[in-house]
Amino acid sequence: MELRNKTILVTGSTDGVGRVVAERLGAGGAHVLVHGRDESRGKATVAAIEAKGGKAEFLAADLASLAEVRRLAEAVRARTDRLDVLINNAGVGTGGQAASRQVSADGYELRFAVNYLAGFLLTSELLPLLKASAPARIVNVASAGQQAIDFDDVMLTHSYSGVRAYCQSKLAQILFTVDLAEQLDGTGITVNALHPASYMDTTMVRQAGVTPWSSVETGADAILNLATSPALEGRSGLYFDGQRESRADPQAYDEKARRRLRALSLELIGQSSATSREKHS
């Protein structure tokens, strides 16, 4: 993909692998919409991109709030009439073995809310811009850490662990990827997911008490492969481990589970299935 004059939103791009991705996209000529919670880090990222001749803007939002996710989408629409690539990268890590259960501003289990539901809503809100820019791409940054969703206790009110919450939220991203690819067939928008690299040198990994053993540059290479590689043109609904096409947890390929997750997600964000169909049609 030729990056010049392309507009790309990267969530969670003021730190870690997201920042590396944003800086590389800016260096390649894209107009990068940098997202994060911290304004000072956001401005620093924009300055770093501009120092290398790139174009960037910072948009602040806390993805633990669905209202702020909607405001982020509104801010994107106010700044551009096109969106060529959406990279859903922002996330909350496992928090380590001693992580306690936390909830989002809307009362949902925090990792499910930030890692999955925020991206589900943001993608839905931005689909019209992506369609206007087709061919366009959506990249969901998931993980090789996956655990089947327990639909009887999605919010993990029983037997909570940060690792379980994280792995469930990341698999939810992949179910969403496969499901959305089917819905967007024929629109010119592709959507793929990936595990960028194992235990990258990021704040998230260090907070979990894990010694990093992959670089953020390796993870950025994998993300940029899905976002820009000509080899991925027209290919959708896939899961990659790094830059290698792979298979996710079997639940990702269970149509009943995907429908169930979609219905639950629409309920949680306060939309009906009819509204969803209108956005995807």
Q: Just list the catalytic residues.
A: 166
Measured in whole angstroms, the distance separating CA 197 from the mean position of its chain's CA atoms is: 15
- With contact defined as beta carbons under 8 Å apart, do 240 and 222 qualify? yes
Alpha helices in the chain (DSSP H): 16-27, 39-51, 66-79, 110-111, 118-132, 162-183, 203-207, 216-228, 255-269, 273-280
Burial 206-239 (b: 16+ CB within 10 A, else e): eebeeeeebebebbbbbbbbbbbeeebeeebbbb
Smallest CA-to-CA distance from 155 within 109, 105, 110 is with: 109
> Which strands, in side-by-side order, build the sheet including 7-10?
55-60, 31-36, 7-10, 85-88, 136-141, 189-195, 239-241, 244-246
Long-range contacts (CB closer than 8 Å, 24 or more residues apart) made by 145-151:
145/94, 145/170, 145/195, 146/170, 146/171, 146/174, 146/248, 146/249, 146/252, 147/171, 147/249, 148/249, 148/250, 148/251, 149/175, 149/251, 149/257, 149/261, 151/257, 151/260, 151/261, 151/264
- With contact defined as beta carbons under 8 Å apart, do 34 and 13 qualify? yes
AA letter at 68:
E
